[in-house]
Structure 1
Amino acid sequence: MEIGLIGLGKMGGNMAQRIRDGGHTVVGFDRSPASARDVASLEELVQKLSAPRAVWVMVPAGGPTDQTVNALGDLLSEGDIVIDGGNSKYTDDARHAEELGAKGIGFVDAGVSGGVWGLKNGYALMVGGAPENVARIQPVFDALKPEGEGGFVHAGPTVGAGHFAKMVHNGIEYGMMQAYAEGYELMAASPLIENVTETIKSWQQGTVIRSWLLDLAVLALESDPGLSKLRGYAEDSGEGRWTVEAAIDNAVPLPVITAALFARFASRQDDSPAMKMVAALRNQFGGHAVETAGSVSASDAIAPGSR
């Protein structure tokens, strides 16, 4: 099969290689001239592909994806298909499908998981869209997915189903990462555990919490014991927020995922205003010691035990 791939970054470049390794032809484009692109423009990419064309978009969600899909809508022809494999918000997919559909161009949304390890291990694919459009792209999905029966799902015939599934996947990932992180911090703080890295490493065999994320935690600790080279600052790329928004819209309680998202917000505060208020209130009602700017504590400001 022949496919165009727009966006040759960390994931896109590896995906192009895996598709080629699967015996297919990839025409790659990236806006950066420094990338290993095959063509210098979207126009040239479309011209190089044989009709009916299939073009996979692998660029950042939001504005970059909107601009790319809009440009393809002007360049492609009736019968062509666009696949959005980025981390787009599922609500954007209906708009893209409607705009392209008015021109007779198909649209498939594909949530992709696998990160920098996908080239070797394969990518998990969660796909949404009309069955006939998905079937057209199936050879490429088969080349990208891991070997075996798993790793691919046509999540639903309505566009947005793939990105919704990937959004929930990433929300679960938030919760799992937070649980591992909290367990690590507790063991690091306890005088009972002499070797935190080896303890976590021992969980890789025979435990109910073993996972690929646990394997990655071990790799991180082995390369940087104590994680001293890192700052405790964690970004969120959007999917966690969207998962919580969807939970509110559907009246579904997600306490773990929501707490994990808020923990990332807290990580960006050098001196949390909320925790300052907690400390101030504890001092006010109970005379509990608090650290203040320029001094060790302000516990003498309020008489101990006062209410």
Structure 2
Amino acid sequence: MITVAILVTQGFSTYHVSVPLILFGETVTDQQLFARLICAEKPGLVWSEEGTAIQADHGLEVLAQADIVIVPFWGDVRKRPSSPLLDALVKAREAGVQIVGLCLGTFVLAYAGLLDGHMAATHWEYEDDFRELFPSVHLNLNELYVDDSGLTTSAGTAAAMDCCLYIIRQHFGSLVANGIARRMVTPPHREGGQAQYINHHVTQKTADGRINMVLDHLLQNLQEPHDINSLAAYASMSRRTLTRHFTKATGMSVVEWITAARLHRSQELLENMDLPVEQVAEKAGFQSAATFRLQFREKFGVSPREWRKTFRNA
């Protein structure tokens, strides 16, 4: 059996903790594969933010004795965990334990210094916080989970299940992992990654009135071809002045902004209309359906048809 230590903290998220509790428990397989240890900094009853509670029978000393340690949640990404907790994780890592951070649990691993120089994943909404706090970690927001040298981290919420199934597949093979996935009524492996769930906004209003006029013009005419010269003439600016002011106001070049706006428009069309992909490409302003498909997959990690299948309004 594989020993799995699940670390719970005061104010934990019931959902995030329940995923490893169930997947590494005894109810999803016909044979016991895991010895599950519920741990806390102070053993005893630990309360969640939803008002549920869980009994932690073990302290931090067992982390270094486990095969896998899972940190399923962290409540405040700006709050540094206690030194005893971080030291226990470092000690477990030094003992060769696989360390797993689910969703915001990745922050705990990063605070311990375990992720320095490694690739990691976390919830896309906390990208700015993570990059600011941990510049030495290579954050990957394209994947649902990342495994780098025994340090396994996942994106938010539902990706925790994908990550745990990956760990089960890693230790016991696809046959076991697929059987558990069927029992949980979930795909054993989801296509695409976290990129398709990130809310990509394009700047529509800035502090520069002339650039706002250009943005309004572009949004109303995305399906039309545009170039720097025609936009500069429309704004009564030189090409160089438009380029400089546009980048300063939006943080993007003109070409980057137009591409992002067209991709955003295509998302709306895919989700709300039954148009063929070729017509979606045309209405969003792409020169060809092939170009549209290529840029869409590069940005979101899935094809336009897969996007529609996932997000189409009923």
TM-score range, shorter chain: 0.3 to 0.5
**TM-score, structure 2 normalization:** 0.36
